[in-house]
Amino acid sequence: MKRGVISLAIICLMLVFSQDTLGSESHANDSLNNLSNSDHNLHKKEFNPGNFIFDHIGDAHDWHILTVGSHHISVPLPIILYSRTRNNLFVFFILL
């Protein structure tokens, strides 16, 4: 019984981690095409931290695994905050 559960867990982990490698090749090709087709400006834009932060706040905080019918199954990703002044590390999840 225990051996079967361990085998099933290993198979599930292999399936979950293989999802990233299945789509990475097409994503890499798309990125290369976008780089070759984009306009390369000689002047650099000034960094705006406000826009950078709000772009990342709007991102999803979960990893979509699969869809069954109309139900999406995903795993929440951790949000990691580090304080240099207190040398504290905070890790928490947002569950929606």
pLDDT in tens, 38-85: 555 556 778 888 887 777 767 777 788 889 998 888 888 887 888 888
Q: Quick one: pLDDT at residue 21?
A: 47
87 pLDDT above the threshold of 60? yes
14 pLDDT above the threshold of 70? no
Backbone angles phi, psi at 90, to 5 degrees: -115, 130
Residue, of 16 and 9, whose pLDDT is higher: 9
pLDDT (tens digit per residue) in 18-37: 555 444 455 555 555 555 55
Q: Quick one: pLDDT at residue 76?
A: 81
pTM higher than the cut 0.75: no
